A and B are shown apart, each in its own frame.
Chain A
Amino acid sequence: MYIVKRFMTMILTIWVIASLTFFIMNMIPGDPFASDADVLPKEVVENMRAKYNLDEPVPVQYVLYLKNLVMLDLGPSIKSESRTVNDIIASGFPASATLGIQAIIVALFFGLLLGIVAALNHNKLLDNAAMIFAIIGISVPSFILSPLLINIFAVKFGILPVASWGTWQHSVLPTLALATTPLAVVARYMRSSMLEVMNQNYIKTADAKGLSTFKIVLSHGVRNAILPVVSFIGPLFVSLITGTFVIEKIFAVPGIGKYFVDSIFNRDYPVIMGTTVFFSTILVVTLFLIDISYRFIDPRIKLTSKGD
């Protein structure tokens, strides 16, 4: 059964990632309290080590870590003592999710639209303009685009805030910056897919039997052309999540990406581990869902493991 097998691979992947992060973190010489050991009394350091299970041998720590993980407990943060990793993720998630979902909607909607319009005007002015836009969108990284957007919309015209988070106006520029590259990629995929579909015989048949152009394009063209684009949503999602690291930094958005990058500079190991596992789980689950849904959307693909 394909779905079961695919599900097992997903669980396996998450386990591999979780173990990998655990052992990588354990390879670092010393522990987070190494610098405190010189200043604080021995008992205090030992208590602190005990709190984070650092006094146990590594295999025991590993089992405890996996057990907590299954219970969805990612442990305490070392740098900000009053907060757990769960707290940090919970406080960062709304902003990141808002940003990510808005960006994915913008990228898909305008990307598909641009691709369709370009394909229907193949080799005409509109097509060329759309593709020049797409090539620029793919070539310019978000961290170059963001300062440009800030400079134009926030500094020159002053219609949108420079950075920070709160009202919907704050989310416009980061969403645009995050969505541009995926938008361009979707547009290119959709254009070539649409071009191929519109050359098929069933389009000619639909045309010959007198269907309106609108109906041909929508229910025969787009319906078929969109399938290959669906398989691209996975990588799109990956690039969006990693994209948020940069965007949240530039626009000072209090999201998980920002905490993740901060935790690396602070060497806050539980936070690094927790957010890594969290990000990977989201990604792996999304990839799984897309893979499964793709096989339902496209009736030509059978749910067997031999087909891929």
Chain B
Amino acid sequence: MVKVLNDSMFRPVDPSKLQTDEIQRPSLGVFKETLLSILKNKLAIIGLFLLVVIIFLALFGPSMVPYSGSQQNLTNVNKAPSGEHWFGTDNLGRDMWSRTWQGARVSLTIGFIAAIVDLVVGVIVGGVSGYMAGRGKFGDRVDSLLMRIVEILYGIPYLLVVILLMVIMEPGITTIIIALSITGWVGMARIIRGQILLLKSQEYVLAAEKLGTSHVKIIMRHLLPNTMGIIIINLTFTIPTAIFAEAFLSFLGLGVQAPFASWGTMANDSLGVILSGHWWRLFFPGFMIALTMFAFNAFGDGIQDALDPRARK
């Protein structure tokens, strides 16, 4: 049977009860929304939690035990982990717990300095280069000059620069930091430039420009907030790379010098004894490097997912 539609089947809607324009949920700012979606990401939370624990122990770990990291005790060498020495002792009887967290300080310092250099030099160079591109003869010249420098530095492997610097300077944290400052920001500059170029061609930037908005305001209001995500993601990968580089150099004997401890030097010291069964001497620094790398990478992955508009619901 065919049902025929007629007026009696419809009821008029009370216009005052129409809810079409009503906002379904409270409007959140970009920042708040991002924060919420990061908090919803399990991986990011695990990473963040681990990072907080590692930073806390780096700050307070060494003072939780009555031994300093460089204090030798030759009557108590190569002791397995116990209630007295939580991570055991090394071949000079030094407390491994204390040394491990002193190593954490070195690693984290290097990581955060790398992040600052990335943030300051990389973002400025990339931003200026991207913003100046296509703005007259002068602008193009600035862009191509900066990009030439970046291209050449990009071709030079970072570890070779560090190793060369080690030859003329004393090996140590300062030298690693200087080498980082010379080459570390290049990747960030390239990414930021690409992002700025992309953003500049968006209609809202054109609109703002045509309405007479100043350069500074366009940068602060439109370009910077929209590059924030990519900057943060890149930082969470710069930091572990720098930490890894330090461990690598220290392992080769080109990084942090005795009596200071770093995870790389501790791993290097323990290479010979791993065959004799003193597993804790390699395990703790090795595990800490791996855990820190994992924490930063997990956090970075989580943030990346959270900031990716395609993944947002």
Contacts and interface: CB of A to CB of B under 8 A. Distances in A.
Interface string A254-283: 000000110011010000100010011001
Interface string B152-192: 10011101100111111000000000000000000000000
Contacts of A238: 157
A301 interface: no
B267 interface: yes
Nearest to A308: B194
B96 interface: no
B97 interface: no
Interface string A24-51: 1101100000000000000000000000
A293 interface: no
Contacts of A138: 293-294, 297
Interface residues of B, number: 37
Contacts of A16: 152, 156
Contacts of B268: 143
22 contacts: A9-B151, A9-B152, A13-B151, A17-B160, A21-B164, A28-B168, A135-B298, A139-B294, A141-B247, A141-B248, A141-B286, A143-B247, A144-B282, A144-B286, A144-B290, A151-B274, A246-B251, A249-B252, A264-B163, A265-B253, A272-B167, A276-B160
A241 interface: yes
Interface string B269-313: 011001100000010001001110110011000000000000000
Interface string A155-191: 1000000000000000000000000000000000000
B290 A151 contact: no
Contacts of A10: 155
B87 interface: no
A147 B272 CA distance: 9
Interface size class of A (residues with CB under 8 A): 35 or more
Contacts of B252: 245-246, 249, 261
B189 to A, nearest CB: 14
A143 B160 contact: no
Given A24-B164, A276-B160, A147 B271 contact: yes
A138 B243 CA distance: 13
B166 A264 contact: yes
Contacts of A53: none
Contact of A139 (B157, B160, B293): B293
Contacts, number: 109
Contact of B156 (A13, A139, A264): A13
A203 interface: no
Given A135-B297, A139-B294, A144-B282, 12 more contacts: A17-B155, A17-B156, A27-B168, A139-B293, A140-B286, A140-B290, A141-B247, A143-B264, A151-B274, A242-B159, A246-B252, A284-B155
A143 to B, nearest CB: 5
B295 to A, nearest CB: 9
Q: Which 9 A-B pairs have the closest CB atoms?
A: A144-B286, A13-B155, A139-B293, A139-B294, A139-B290, A242-B159, A147-B274, A140-B290, A284-B155
B156 A280 contact: yes
A276 B156 CA distance: 10
Of listed B157, B163, B164, B264, residue having the most chain A CB within 10 A: B157
B152 A280 contact: no
B101 interface: no
B131 interface: no
